[in-house]
Amino acid sequence: MNRAVSLALWAGTFTGVGLCLGAAVAHAAGLMVAARLASFGVVALLLTPPLRLAVTAVAFWREGDRKYAAAATFVLLALVVAAIRAVAP
């Protein structure tokens, strides 16, 4: 389970940072795609914690730890609800 969570964190972090780095390079080169790359990078970084929670919940479920899977799922749902409420008018 630790490996799966670690891989999810690394993937989200490297994707987000890579896209932001690409945005910086594109901006320096005067390319119009820089803003979009930066936006995608920020979105990737913001999606990393929910991805980690989802991977954790699935891993606990597969290991038979239903209580911890339910806790991770509850936290994931609370995070999603908070995010939705933050962007809703």
Q: What is the pLDDT of residues 8-49, one digit of tens each?
A: 889 999 999 999 999 999 999 999 999 999 999 999 999 999
Contact (Cβ atoms closer than 8 angstroms) between residue 48 and residue 9: yes
- Write the secondary structure of 37-56 as one string of H (helix), E (strand) and C (coil): HHHHHHHHHHHHHHHHHHHH
The pLDDT assigned to 24 comes to 96
Percentage above 70 pLDDT, the chain: 100
